[in-house]
């Protein structure tokens, strides 16, 4: 029997790549998501043909028809991951297989084409390899954004018959402004992010579109991020707009809301659970209500709260604002357990701490 040959990714180098001095200037304190590398990967999928036309090429705008399905019905998914430059110059990714798997799950939920995990990984690796000069050292990293959208010109309401998968990359520094050891969050009592049976567990652009009004409300209240409560009872804490959340209790244990289908299954979340358990800490995946959080912060039962995700890694939540007032957690700064887990995770990601679970994926030169 013939096994199908894996799709080759053709390489068409940028005719005028950015000179090294210019790259160095742009790597100096880049604003998150504004500076992009020279190349992108594109792979097309058409019903009947499957995946084809895979290439690394100069980054350029797409030409899409005004009737392009994604513009009308928002069939779009994405991933977020980072490439790090270790002290020895080795460039690595963190658990990229998990992103490849989650991308397939998101695609299935949104009735989109199934991208093989090995092709996802090769696409990401090809972009990091060709744009390796753009991977910052020190605390910076190269943020990778694989995404897929419905590219069929058709206004009928059904799953599209054409998709484009693409990977772009941007060098980034810390997600939140430096000098801040903890962020302030806004608890939205009016808007929810995801409902049972909905798309909360898929990494789709539509979830973000629905969350922006709450983010605007958070900014208006001087907060950095939104905390969403469950859609049914507006009682249980789910997650932030783009990060999962953990609570550190006074007995030293950690609690994080369970993956109920309305929460995005974060790779950082899963890694923190494993790391904390290896460190001898108890981690419970259990519902936490807003009242428990507020009362626990007041009584000292909740000693720390932190958010986690690829972009912001591990970030302490120092103060909480809501329609009924405001409270702070601990002394309002980064707590001890938060700091310990952040240092451990970033140490593994950057090759400074041993990687016992095989999470670090070295990018071939």
Ligand X SMILES: *Cc1c(COP(=O)(O)O)cnc(C)c1O
Query: Among 67-75, 248-256, 260-268, 344-352, which window interacts with ligand X (CB under 6 A)?
Result: 260-268
Which of these segments, 24-32, 163-171, 239-247, 352-360, binds ligand X (CB under 6 A)?
239-247
Q: Per rule CB under 6 A, is residue 239 in the interface with ligand X?
A: yes
Angle at 303 between CA 298 and CA 309, to 5 degrees: 120
Determine the Cα–Cα distance for residues 184 and 332; give it in Å rounded to an integer. Answer: 9
Which lies closer to ligand X via its Cβ, residue 54 or residue 264? 264
- 288 is a site residue for ligand X (CB under 6 A): no
Only one of the segments 20-28, 62-70, 162-170, 242-250 lies at the binding site for ligand X (rule: CB under 6 A); that segment is 242-250
Total binding residues toward ligand X, as defined by CB under 6 A: 13
Q: C-beta of 79: minimal distance to ligand X in Å?
A: 8
Q: 259 exposed, middle or buried (CB, 10 Å; 0-12, 13-18, 19+)?
A: middle
Q: Which of 43, 56, 243, 344 binds ligand X (CB under 6 A)?
A: 243
Q: Closer to ligand X at the Cβ: 68 or 201?
A: 201
237 binds ligand X (CB under 6 A): no
Q: Cα separations (Å) of 126 from 40, 77, 252, 271?
A: 9, 20, 43, 25
Stretch that binds ligand X, among 262-270, 326-334, 339-347, 349-357 (CB under 6 A): 262-270
Candidates 75, 244, 338, 349; binder of ligand X (CB under 6 A) is 244
Please give the residues from 79 up to 108 whose contact with ligand X meets the rule CB under 6 A: 80
Among 310, 315, 338, 349, binds ligand X (CB under 6 A): 310
Radius of gyration of the chain from its Cα atoms, rounded to whole angstroms: 21
Spatial distance between the Cα atoms of 193 and 198, rounded to a whole number of angstroms = 10
Nearer to ligand X, 165 or 246 (CB): 246
Task: Give the footprint of ligand X on residues 24-63 (CB under 6 A).
Answer: none
Is 266 a binder of ligand X (CB under 6 A)? yes
| Strand ranges inside the chain, DSSP E | 10-11, 39-46, 50-58, 76-78, 81-85, 91-94, 141-150, 162-172, 182-188, 225-229, 237-240, 244-249, 254-256, 283-285, 302-309, 313-322, 325-328, 360-362
Q: Which residues in 192-221 contact ligand X (CB under 6 A)? A: 203
* SS3 letters across 197-257: CCCCCCCEHHHHHHHHHHHHHHHHCCCCEEEEECCCCCCEEEEECCCEEEEEECCCCEEEC
- Residues lying near ligand X in the complex (CB under 6 A) are found at 80, 203, 239, 242-244, 264, 266-269, 309-310
């Amino acid at each position: 029997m013939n096994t199908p040959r894996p799709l080759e990714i053709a390489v068409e180098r940028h005719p005028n790549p950015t000179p090294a001095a210019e790259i160095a200037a742009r790597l100096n304190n880049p604003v998150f998501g504004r500076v992009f590398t020279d190349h992108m990967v594109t792979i097309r999928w058409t019903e009947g043909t499957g995946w084809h036309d895979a290439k690394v090429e100069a980054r350029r705008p797409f030409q899409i028809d005004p009737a392009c399905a994604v513009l009308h019905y928002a069939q779009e998914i994405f991933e977020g991951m980072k490439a790090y430059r270790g002290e020895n110059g080795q460039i690595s990714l963190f658990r990229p297989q998990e992103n490849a798997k989650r991308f397939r799950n998101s695609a299935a939920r949104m009735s989109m084409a199934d991208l093989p995990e090995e092709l996802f990984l090769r696409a990401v690796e090809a972009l990091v390899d060709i744009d390796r000069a753009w991977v910052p050292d020190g605390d910076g990293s190269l943020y990778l954004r694989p995404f897929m959208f419905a590219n069929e010109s058709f206004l009928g309401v059904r799953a599209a018959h054409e998709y484009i998968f693409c990977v772009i990359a941007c060098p980034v520094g810390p997600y939140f402004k430096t000098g801040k050891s903890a962020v302030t969050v806004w608890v939205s009592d009016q808007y929810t992010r995801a409902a049972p049976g909905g798309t909360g567990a898929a990494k789709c652009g539509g979830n973000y579109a629905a969350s922006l009004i709450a983010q605007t409300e958070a900014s208006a209240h001087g907060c950095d991020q939104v905390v969403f409560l469950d859609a049914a009872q507006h009682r249980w804490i789910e997650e932030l707009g783009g990060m999962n959340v953990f609570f550190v209790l006074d007995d030293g244990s950690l609690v994080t809301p369970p993956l109920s289908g309305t929460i995005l299954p974060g790779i950082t979340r899963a890694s923190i659970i494993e790391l904390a358990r290896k460190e001898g800490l108890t981690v419970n995946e259990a519902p936490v209500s807003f009242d428990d959080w507020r009362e626990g912060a007041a009584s000292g039962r909740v000693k720390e709260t932190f958010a986690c995700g690829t972009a912001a890694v591990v970030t302490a939540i120092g103060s909480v604002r809501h329609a009924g007032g405001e409270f702070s957690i601990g002394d309002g700064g980064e707590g001890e357990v938060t700091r310990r887990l952040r240092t451990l995770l970033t140490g593994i990601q950057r090759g400074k701490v041993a990687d016992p679970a095989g999470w670090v994926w070295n990018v071939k030169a």
